[in-house]
Structure 1
Amino acid sequence: MNFRIDIEMTPDEMRRVLGLPDVAALQQEMIDKVREQMEAGVEGYDPLTLLKPYLNSGIGSMESFQKLLFGMMSQYGNDKRDAD
């Protein structure tokens, strides 16, 4: 027996279902800062230095999320085998 469930939702709705934060305001603020510094013509300006703190924490968060999902899938697989 096979079941198929199609769920139609927007990316924003999916983000809320997964409990992910809304980073739209942060993204807009970062873009505005980059634009201001580019327009000011700051000498030696490197946009990567502005984003480094966010990139470093974001990668760690993604790894934690992947570990969480892997742990859940492993547990599900073990429970499934125990039931058989």
Structure 2
Amino acid sequence: MKINVEVDCTPEEARRFMGLPDFSPVHEKYIGNILESMDNGINPEFMENLFKNWAPMGEAGVKMWRQMMENMGGPK
């Protein structure tokens, strides 16, 4: 026997129903910090720290991103 249940709800309603925490304020703060950094000009140290947190390969991934960003800067 196979039973299918279809639920029509928003992501917010699903989160509340499952009892998951609301990280909206954290998300808004994080996005605000990134937008502020972009308005003030992104420097290489900011990008390096950002990609260290996101890079799946650790330091090797950061080096790869750094080389890619340096190459995007055009001829020197």
TM-score by length of 2: 0.50
- Which residue in 2 is equivalent to 1:46? 47
1:20 and 2:20 are equivalent in the alignment: yes
Q: 2: CA distance between counterparts of 1:51 and 1:28? A: 21
Structure 1 residues 4 and 50, CA gap change in structure 2 (3 angstroms): closer
String of CA shifts for 1:34-74, please: whole Å, max 9, x gaps.
Answer: 0111111142121762882xx6xxxxxxxxxxxxxxxxxxx
The Cα RMSD (Å) is 2.8
Q: 1: CA distance between counterparts of 2:21 and 2:39? A: 30
Structure with the bigger RCO (C-alpha within 8 Å, sep 6+) is 2
Q: 2: CA distance between counterparts of 1:22 and 1:37? A: 25
Q: 2: CA distance between counterparts of 1:51 and 1:20? A: 27
In the alignment, structure 1 segments of 5+ residues that lack a partner are 56-84
In the alignment, structure 2 segments of 5+ residues that lack a partner are 55-76
